[in-house]
Each structure stands twice: as structure tokens, then as C-alpha cells.
Amino acid sequence: MSEKFPTPPKLTPAEERIRRRRSMAIALALAVLAVIFYAVSMVKTIR
Amino acid sequence: MSAAFDKAIDHTAAVKTVGGDVGDYFQLLKPRVMSLVIFTALVGIVVAPGPIHPVIAAASLLAIAIGAGASGALNMWYDADIDAIMSRTAKRPIPAGRITHQEAFSFGMVLAAGSVIALGIFANWAAAGLLAFTIFFYAVVYSMWLKRLTPQNIVIGGAAGAFPPMIGEAVVTGQLGWASFVLFTIIFLWTPPHFWALAMVKAEDYKRAGVPMMPNVAGELSTRRQIMAYTVALVLFAFVPAPIGMGGVAYVAVATLGGAGMLGIAWRILKARDEAQSAKAGMQMFGFSILYLFAVFSVLLAEHSLGLMWTLPKLP
């Protein structure tokens, strides 16, 4: 299996930073989306 | 794992490029256009007849904004070749090589589908359908079809930018009414003078990229006349909200002052004696038209949301 999935090339510190920032942005967006869906559901349930 | 799978998926390719930074993806959303969409959709929500819960309104606005961003990303994906040629757009993420075509396309499609589904859940499916149509209109009808085909590209394609108030009204009422149709028409008439003024200044850019903008096809004199014609139509139509009870005295005052400014600049463009004067007046129109639209919509927003409405007598 390891031969078919070769070790990925090492990223430079700048590339690592870009990837980390993007991952954090995706996580934050998903969290915000979850909160919004929750809030909308609550409002629709209460009404 | 099959050989076919290994061939289709280059496991090393995904890590060879790390993709764009967060700022690059944000730029794909065309944030300035997005802010105008949010603002005009908000006005559509506020002037629509009927109440809406603030949470539903805010969530719907976010979905509309993301939909607008998706349109921008799909537009940048399709237009990357001409963006690379034009000085104004050469530094965008795709022509600059920071984001690949495929990444931009996937990003745009995911956001488009997500925003439409979210708006359907948050508000109603009529508004979601209209948002889907708007994304389709901007990405396919304007970007893929009209933009490279006809000098009327931004006239017809401009409708895409005029739909957000209609989506706003549909969010509240589940249908379309006169209020949002009036707002649609104001933005629709506003688009040609705004973009043709820029096209006059950037005519060489558009020419090199092969985009048939009005100044390159019909000539500058014809464009100047058409800017004046659309400006007159816009300024006159902008008074319509008053007699139908949508705009009050403050609105009439702003529409009058702003309209006078628009007509003054359109006159300066029409009567420009040389290229320098024409370019100067063109940039004035580009900047002032944004201010005009913002002012006219702001006063509608204030009159409806802050209870500042002092209406003129309604037509029978």
C-alpha cells in the first residue's frame, strides 16, 4: 500500500502556513454555518 | 486499488501545489460586487410588504451573499484568459497562478449549490430558485455567452446585478411584487452608464482582450450619447418610488440632487473635447454612479427601517 501512496513532498514553512490558514477558515465557516442553521431552526420552531 | 484508479488519481499531485491562501479565495468572491449585492438585497427585504424575523433576514442575506460570491468565482474561472490580458484584472488569483482553474470552478460550484440550498431552507424555495437563476444568468448568460459576443453584454447581463432586491422581496413574501421590480429597474438602468464610463477609460484593455465593449464597437461618440440616454432614463425612473408610496420626501430630495449630479457628469462626458477630458469625466461617472446608487438605496432603507418616511400624496 505504501508503494502506491508515496510519501508526500515536504512543504515549505510558507506553504504549511497557507494550508493551516485555509483549514482554519474552512473550520470557522462550517462552525458559523452550524450556528446559523441552529438559530434559523430555533426561530422557525418558536414561530 | 485498481490500476485505473491509480491512473485517474495522481496521489502526489494534490500535495505538489498547496493551493491559494484564504485571501485568494476571498478575492474570487469579488467582495466589492458582493457588498453591493448584500446592500441591494437588504433594501429589497426592507421595502417588501410584510414582516420577517431578523435572524431569517440575516441568514438569507448571508446565503444571497455567498451566491453572489459563487457567481464571481465562476466568472473568474471562465474569464481567466481575458483577465490575464487586461491590466485591471491581471493580478486576480487565477491569472496570477495562485489558484488553478479547477480549484476556482469547484469552489464556485460548491458555493452556488450550497447558497441555493441554504436560502431554500432559511427562507423559501421561490427565493432560492431566483438566486439559482441569478447565478446562472451571471455565470452562463453573461460571462459565457454575451460578454464576448455583443456590445450589449452589460445591458442584458446587467440584469444579473439587478436581481438581488427581487430575491430580497421573495425572501419576505415568497413572491415578486412591484417594490422589487422598481428597484430592479433602477439598477438595470444604472448599469450601462456605470460600466460604459469605465469601458471608455479602459478601451485599450478591452480591445486587447477582444471583449466587444460599446466604445470599441460603436465608437466613443455613440457610447457618450448612450450614456446620456441611459442616465436620463435612470434619473427620471428613480422618481417612481415617490408616487407609489415607496419613497418619501427625503427620497425625492436625494433622487433630485443625485440625479442632477449624474446628469451633470453625463453632460460633461457628452461634451468632452479631447481624450483626457473624456477619461476624466468617465472616471467621475464611474465613481459618482456608485455613490448615487448607494445614496438612493440608503434613503429608502432609512425611510422604511427607521420610520423616517414622510410620504408624498399617493397616486389614486
In this prediction, residues A34-44 reach a mean pLDDT of: 95
Strands (E), B178-260: none
pLDDT of residue B9: 37
Which residues of B are less than 8 Å from A28 in CB distance?
none
pTM above 0.90, yes or no: no
Mutate to test the interface with B, among A22, A23, A26, A38 (most CBs of B within 10 A): A22
Q: How far apart are CA B265 and CA B260, in angstroms?
A: 9
C-beta separation of B154 from B165 below 8 A: no
Residue B268 CB partners (closer than 8 Å, separation 6+): B277, B281, B284
pLDDT of residue A39: 96
pLDDT of residue B158: 87
Closest residue on chain B to A4 (Cα): B6
Strand partners, B248: B311
The verdict on A31 touching B (C-beta cutoff 8 Å) is: no
Strand partners, B311: B248
pLDDT of residue B308: 61
- Tens-level pLDDT at each residue, chain B (316 residues): 344 434 333 343 444 456 789 999 999 999 999 999 999 999 999 999 989 999 999 999 999 999 999 999 999 999 999 999 999 899 999 999 999 999 999 999 999 999 999 999 999 999 999 999 999 999 999 999 999 999 999 999 889 999 999 999 999 999 999 999 999 999 999 999 999 999 999 999 999 999 999 999 999 999 999 999 999 999 999 999 999 989 999 999 999 999 999 999 999 999 998 888 989 999 999 999 999 999 999 999 999 987 666 665 655 5
Q: Which of B18, B56, B122 sits opposite A18 (nearest CB)?
A: B18
Chain B residues with a Cβ under 8 Å from any Cβ in chain A: 1, 6, 11-12, 15-16, 18-22, 25, 53, 55-56, 59, 62, 118, 121-122
The alpha carbon of residue A22 is apart from the nearest alpha carbon of chain B, in Å, by 5
| Phi/psi of residue B312, nearest 5 degrees | -85, 165
pLDDT of residue B4: 42
Q: State whether A39 and B55 contact (CB < 8 Å).
A: yes
- pLDDT exceeds 70 at position A5: yes
Nearest 10 degrees: Cα torsion B89, B93, B94, B99: 180
pLDDT of residue B292: 98
Q: Which of B12, B21, B55 sits opposite A43 (nearest CB)?
A: B55
pLDDT of residue A3: 59
Place of cell 453584454: B153
Q: How far is CA B257 from the centre of its chain?
A: 24
